[in-house]
Copies of this chain bind each other. A is one copy, B any other.
Amino acid sequence: VDNLSRGRESFLASLANHPDFQFHAVDCADYDALAKVVSGLATPVTNIWHLAANSDIPGGIADPGIDLKDTFLTTFQLLKLARDLKIENFHFASSSAIYGDLGDLAVHEDVGPLQPISNYGAMKLASEAQIRAAVEAYLGRADIFRFPNVIGVPATHGVIVDFVQKLKATPDELQVLGDGTQRKPYLHVEDLVDAMLFISDRADDRYNVYNIGPTDIGVSVQFIAETVRDRVSPEARIAYGTSNRGWVGDVPRFNYSTARLSGLGWAPQLGSREAVIKAVDQIARQEAVD
């Protein structure tokens, strides 16, 4: 189920003929439409995987109504659906953005205080809070997956898409927001999906909260810029800004702990560096810069 605000049905072409697959173009914030689709299914739904959200952080700062509807109210209505239709299990794509800027502090799952600095992070934290209360009242189980920066294809936005498109437009120069020193961990989407399935299979509390990410400290924006430049337009000059933040709500450094997930026995196939190199190549192909 997706409202196709950013996704496209063509992204699902490889699944279209699978006998167990159905796609419905419905907004998860529209309870009546959602309930109609789900109650009409031949077999009862036992698990909700809630990945719907506005993923455009600067967009959500410009208009908080977007995060309200797409990130918060989707959760509210999906929980209502779980309650009304007695769907026991709820899996939720949360975000490292709930933590805000904790400086050098190790960001593990039980850390406090939680001070999200973007409206996106705020609505993800707000969603987690609702889910936690629902576990107390009627859900059988919930998994909270706190996503890192995720890259891969199909890609609709994000730093790599941005750099690739900029270089297509002006092949001799790449302008970078910020001074390029921001360092973040990146996970490839294939590893992300693997981690979610692993947690839902192996974790056994009623309420499971996991940071998902690589085990390294991440790569800098400069590394990403250079990787894109080398792949797309090797002669281009890279021009950096002066701030160590790219935009309001951006966190410059992030010491993201994935020790809990490692303890459960999971490890990614690709570290941040390899994930960036792979995603840059995939996105370059997607954007047809060859």
A residues in contact (CB < 8 Å) with B: 61, 64, 68, 72, 76, 79-80, 98, 100, 109-119, 121-123, 125-126, 129-130, 132-134, 136-137, 207, 209, 248-249
Contact = CB atoms under 8 A, between A and B. Distances in A.
Given A110-B113, A116-B132, A122-B130, 20 more contacts: A61-B133, A64-B79, A72-B126, A98-B129, A109-B113, A113-B209, A114-B129, A115-B207, A118-B133, A119-B133, A122-B132, A123-B129, A123-B130, A125-B125, A125-B126, A125-B129, A126-B126, A126-B129, A129-B129, A136-B249
A187 B28 CA distance: 41
What secondary structure prevails in chain A residues at the interface with B?
Answer: helix
Contacts of A137: 61, 119, 248-249
Report copies per complex. Answer: 2
A51 B122 CA distance: 20
Given A114-B114, A119-B137, A126 B132 contact: no
A103 B126 CA distance: 23
A123 B134 CA distance: 12
Contact of A136 (B117, B126, B129, B130): B117
Given A64-B76, A64-B80, A76-B68, A121 B129 contact: yes
